[in-house]
Structure 1
């Protein structure tokens, strides 16, 4: 990450969902972003509290249950922190059939979004601009947060190390997923770090070369 920002990863819950905290390296700056809030978010929340950080945004890469189940606990600690999600998934947060939690014993009904995101929108943290790239396929409103100076892309469940997101869910679509990867991710520089929603980090170059799903 850029010397002004640092990123902490937390693999949370039964699906080991990667959730991220982005903060400043300067101790006097305490604003932070939360990227996704999965099941059992206590390790992430405890880190934020122990570090004296103040979340100013919760940005959701998409609204499947394992990325939103911790939102109520985030809001319990920080009632006014805004939740941001792509406009195509505004209804997913409160609808278990859409967020895929209807199959679970405890369906997830998350708090509503405060801001709806669009492709090409920019978000700023400590002078660093993160570009919102709409990367549907795994879900209709999946997004990637791309920061060119940091050479970092937080891709949700669109792309993984040596794999790609599932597209067998009711609101998923395989061809759309592949188009998102080709048009929005593989167009990034090879040295771009890929931070996925599950599993280890990788790079665009590694996936271009070794990912079996991306071979022509």
Structure 2
């Protein structure tokens, strides 16, 4: 039986909040995703060009300003890539209040997403299945992407190393967030590596054992 190609998940902490923009591709393949392009995405764009990768889509874990600010720059450099966002945030790219850009004095209005994601569907990159979990709480449409053969999950601002996403923004709710973490993340294998929207990677085992905000 052939071993599935491992996912390569390259992080670029960008902008004033050191938001992790990720370039995701698989060993031996050139197709890639750009996940959460933040302010000043030039380093991520350079990585794509350096490795001769072929972008397939911009995938958003949610639509807050620091996770969407680089969309226009990425599309200018790499072409009109489709933008994927959960259906619960279908209007957020065009709403500076909901995407929080008004709070920073930089109202950002972007085109509507190209594709609306639904709960618990599967996405494909280089014929590799990535399971999509709808993990609301930080925002109504927050998602987590999970590649089982690599034991890796990209969690956006749902779960961090030793912390969780804020629940005091429009559409946020702590109880919903805690439920998402317990239901969709803490049920993953303990060895699963979490690649969060901010900060370093962690593992499910570590967070179940020591995260002070959400216990199993």
Shorter-chain TM-score category? over 0.9
Q: Specify whether residues 10 and 124 from structure 1 end up closer, same or farther in structure 2 by C-alpha distance, changes over 3 A only.
A: same
Q: Are 2:155 and 1:144 aligned?
A: no
- Counterpart CA distance in 1 for 2:105 and 2:64 is 15
Paired residue for 1:153?
153
- Counterpart CA distance in 1 for 2:82 and 2:138 is 24
State whether residues 6 and 149 of structure 2, in contact with CA within 8 Å, keep that contact through their aligned partners in structure 1: no
- Counterpart CA distance in 2 for 1:162 and 1:103 is 26
Paired residue for 1:87?
87
Flag structure 1 segments of 5+ consecutive residues without an equivalent: none
Paired residue for 1:165?
165
State whether residues 86 and 118 of structure 1, in contact with CA within 8 Å, keep that contact through their aligned partners in structure 2: yes
Deviates more, 1:201-210 or 1:46-55: 46-55
- Counterpart CA distance in 1 for 2:190 and 2:6 is 23
State whether residues 6 and 150 of structure 2, in contact with CA within 8 Å, keep that contact through their aligned partners in structure 1: no
Q: What secondary structure does 1:176 align onto?
A: helix
State whether residues 69 and 110 of structure 1, in contact with CA within 8 Å, keep that contact through their aligned partners in structure 2: no
State whether residues 137 and 172 of structure 2, in contact with CA within 8 Å, keep that contact through their aligned partners in structure 1: yes
Paired residue for 2:67?
67
Paired residue for 2:25?
23
TM-superposed CA distance for 1:36, in Å, is 0.8
TM-superposed CA distance for 1:119, in Å, is 1.1
Q: Flag as ranges the 4+ runs of structure 1 deviating above 4 A.
A: none
Q: Are 2:76 and 1:76 aligned?
A: yes
TM-superposed CA distance for 1:171, in Å, is 1.4
TM-superposed CA distance for 1:78, in Å, is 2.6
1:1-216 equivalent positions in 2, closer than 5 A:
3-26=5-28, 29-215=29-215
C-alpha RMSD over aligned residues? 1.3
- Counterpart CA distance in 1 for 2:110 and 2:188 is 33
TM-score between both structures, scaled by the size of structure 2? 0.94
Q: What secondary structure does 1:98 align onto?
A: coil
- Counterpart CA distance in 2 for 1:76 and 1:16 is 22
> May I ask how many residue pairs the two structures share in their alignment?
213
Flag structure 2 segments of 5+ consecutive residues without an equivalent: none
- Counterpart CA distance in 1 for 2:176 and 2:40 is 31
